[in-house]
Amino acid sequence: MGKEKGEKLTFQLKTPKGTKDWEGRDMVIRDKIFSTITDVFKRHGAVTIDTPVFELKEILAGKYGEDSKLIYDLADQGGELCSLRYDLTVPFARWLAMNSSVQSIKRYHIAKVYRRDQPAMTKGRMREFYQCDFDIAGVYDPMLPDAEILRITSEIFEALGWQGRYTIKINHRKILDGIFEVCGVPKDKLRTISSAVDKLDKSPWAEVRREMTEEKGLDGDVADRIGEYVNLKGSRDLLAKLSAHPTLSANADAKKGLDDMNLLFDYLDIFEVTDKVSLDMSLARGLDYYTGVIYEVVTEGSAPPATSGAPSQEVAPKKGKKKPTANDPDEDRSSDPTVGVGSVAAGGRYDELVGMFSGKQQIPCVGISFGVDRIFSITKARMEKEKATALRLNEVDVFIMAFGGKGFDGLLKQRMEVAKELWNAGVKAEFSWKVKPKLPQQFKQAEQGGVPFAIILGEDELAQGKLKIKQMGLPEGHPEKDGVMIEKVNLVPEVKARLAALAEEAAVADGAARIKIQDRDDVPNEAPAIPTVS
């Protein structure tokens, strides 16, 4: 109903639950993440595509296992039944099936996806969020594309400055299926039991076992045998012991998966990624379309604290708000200590998804998706903890300012001329939009934007064909603290030379920081014992 004239609107002005507006410092951090990821994608020869934000409902149906309940269905308005996309993988497979002339492609796609999940906003668990996907489609020799994707993953997190503070957990769907089979899981329960195992990063084994037996009807002895395997973690030593296990190696699925993983580790050694990888038998990836190697990237904050269940660790909800629970799907669980950020990237091989749409030729695919909002939440928390230097809110390199004495007219046209000259040379520049700005106000504007250099114009200096260039933020006592007078005709080469020197200085400092990689203690040096299954 409409409102009478003068009557106040009564609705609450807010964003929908699980969504947020982005601005200022947060946008700067997020855009830096985007550009870093995109640079790595392009380095590896990827091209980009775009797909609609919603798909036909039947396209998404049956692709996500138990997570299908999180899909946003759109209201039927007399047309086609549609749903908001849940990820970028299924739309890519649909695109491949529609474009049969494309038999191989390296593609990346950066876009928003939608899930009606229980949000935890400050931890990057949202209902509308960005994914950055990289996928390789086509028929290639085994594990070569898979290895390159893990190399890409390592390059991205190193480029983001995470300096080894992350782990790429890997596993193989066929190894898991083989373990389930030798433990006695009926074939019709393989996927549903796999979904239960995938919750081990959030829930203790006792809870996962209860789900298997009480909710999914698995025999308790079978669940106990599975438990002996899915808690194993290690590296190549664990893979060697699994490969030598007589019962597993006799299972066709397990043997195929173990052979794949041995080959993958050979390639990861060459790509210098092995030290960042952990073979984790609890990793299952609940989505139904995975067929081979699977992986997730985790870091501190991905999982809730180990003592999160203890009353002393609980965080009280804000006054007037009820404590968030799993039974309240709309409540923001940011203050719930039992909730972590989750994985910051994940993916795997899906060789049969395209064929589900085309009904014809299969196009094998393997890919990974980076959760930008989760990466953002971890990055921002680290910056606050490490008291990182202030971020620049724009990319302006030069601020043009002017000063003068009695009768000063602001030198507006001269400032505009200098700005035009710098813009023509491709230099990012700005000036005050006041006719007669005060010098302190101009410096304040430059400082607020984090602009590295100022060009200062004075009437007497301009009359001599000169102006001053000043690097902002130099310490007291520095010989160039007050700036350096240069010839106006040399403005562009002088500015470009100083910008290049500043960039080189930053690169050297960044390289020195990267040399100091923290010791890793999350991958055991010795593989655990492999259980015996009769």
Element containing residue 132 per DSSP (H, E): strand 128-137
Q: Is 88 annotated as a binding residue?
A: yes
Cα-Cα end-to-end distance for the chain? 71
Task: Give phi and psi for 470, each to the nearest 5.
Answer: -130, 130
Bridge partners (DSSP) of residue 398 are 429, 453
Q: What is the DSSP letter of 523?
A: S
Which amino acid does the sequence have at 290? Y
Burial class (CB in 10 A: 0-12, 13-18, 19+), 119: buried
Q: Is 89 annotated as a binding residue?
A: yes
| Structure-token pair, residue 68 | 């299908």
Q: Which residue blocks in 315-364 are alpha helix, DSSP H?
A: 353-358
Q: Is 30 annotated as a binding residue?
A: no
State the Cα–Cα distance between residues 101 and 359, nearest whole angstrom. 15
Cα 478 to its chain centre, rounded Å, is: 41
- Sheet hosting strand 484-487, strand order edge to edge: 429-431, 398-403, 453-458, 466-471, 484-487
Q: Is 247 annotated as a binding residue?
A: no
Burial class (CB in 10 A: 0-12, 13-18, 19+), 204: exposed
Helices (H) and strands (E) in the chain, counts: 17, 16
Max Cα separation, the chain? 97
Element containing residue 55 per DSSP (H, E): strand 54-56
Q: Is 115 annotated as a binding residue?
A: yes
Q: Is 232 annotated as a binding residue?
A: no
Residue 44 to residues 108, 345, 364: CA-CA distances in angstroms?
A: 10, 18, 19
Q: Is 471 annotated as a binding residue?
A: no
Q: Is 295 annotated as a binding residue?
A: no
Q: Is 290 annotated as a binding residue?
A: yes
Binding residues for L-histidine: 87-89, 115, 131, 135, 285, 289-290
Binding residues: 87-89, 115, 131, 135, 285, 289-290
